[in-house]
Amino acid sequence: QQQVKQSPQSLIVQKGGIPIINCAYENTAFDYFPWYQQFPGKGPALLIAIRPDVSEKKEGRFTISFNKSAKQFSLHIMDSQPGDSATYFCAASNTGKLIFGQGTTLQVKP
Amino acid sequence: SAVISQKPSRDICQRGTSLTIQCQVDSQVTMMFWYRQQPGQSLTLIATANQGSEATYESGFVIDKFPISRPNLTFSTLTVSNMSPEDSSIYLCSAGTVNSPLHFGNGTRLTVT
């Protein structure tokens, strides 16, 4: 019940495309859902986060869509750029500690 | 947002030895956690570092193997004890407050030979 399932494991898109990464959770007590971006050799960096009282949140080119009834949330990256090539992790929390998804490696081709 | 510094950034250690990793935050935080990330894998929570009391460990992690200290609101250490090659991993410190997101350090890359 503490798991967060993330898909796909890897994703390749062309520059300007809109990669979509999906996550699903079981624990209805989760009330905070962040997305992290990680480059090789670096720690994860917070991209954007959402709470279950809203269905969508946008920050720049990044959008989270949240479906509380389905217990799913997704990350959309608009107008993707080669610099967005990284590993993306979704996570969930209700006590401060984060439970992470398995990660998605994104490659944006020029 | 909090800036988190970890030392060392990487180390190569011999089997059977111990390594202590330090985590320093540039502001007072209420929450500090230690994660492990094996190469190409996701992050697994090791424990919550509690200020002034014993750490709270997740299933599969024990205090004898991963003793943790947190003497104040800005500093914590994680020791990897009696190391074996299976302990080769990236160890990450994260910190935040109740009303702010968790931020991560750049990790300590440990190789055990």
Percent of chain B's residues with pLDDT above 90: 87
Confidence of residue A54 (pLDDT cuts 50, 70, 90): very high
Confidence of residue A73 (pLDDT cuts 50, 70, 90): very high
Confidence of residue A94 (pLDDT cuts 50, 70, 90): confident
Choose, out of A2, A3, A38, the residue to mutate when testing the contact with B (most B CBs < 10 Å).
A38
CB pairs A-B closer than 8 Å: 48
pLDDT mean across residues, chain A: 95
Q: How far is CA B41 from CA B46, B58, B86, B89, B94, in A?
A: 15, 18, 14, 10, 17
Predicted local distance difference test score (pLDDT) of residue A1: 59
A51: which chain B residues are within 8 Å (Cβ-Cβ)? none
Predicted confidence (pLDDT) per residue in B51-101, tens digit: 988 999 999 999 999 999 999 999 999 999 999 999 999 999 999 987 778
Predicted local distance difference test score (pLDDT) of residue A104: 98
Judge: A96–B102 Cβ closer than 8 Å, yes or no: yes
Query: What span, in angstroms and rounded, lies between the C-alpha atoms of B52 and B90?
Result: 26
Q: How far is A33 from chain B (nearest CA, A)?
A: 10
Distance of CA A20 to the CA centre of its chain: 9
Predicted local distance difference test score (pLDDT) of residue B61: 97
Of the candidates A41, A46, A97, which has its C-beta nearest B33's C-beta?
A: A97
Which of B76, B105, B43 is closest to A102 using CA atoms?
B43
Predicted local distance difference test score (pLDDT) of residue B52: 85
Choose, out of A98, A99, A104, A105, the residue to mutate when testing the contact with B (most B CBs < 10 Å).
A98
Give the number of other Cβ atoms within 10 Å of residue A84's Cβ.
18
Q: How far is A55 from chain B (nearest CA, A)?
A: 19
Residue A110 forms contact with B (CB below 8 Å): no
Of the candidates A41, A96, A100, which has its C-beta nearest B42's C-beta?
A: A100
Query: What span, in angstroms and rounded, lies between the C-alpha atoms of B23 and B13?
Result: 19
- Cβ-contact B102, B2 below 8 angstroms: no
Distance of CA A70 to the CA centre of its chain: 16
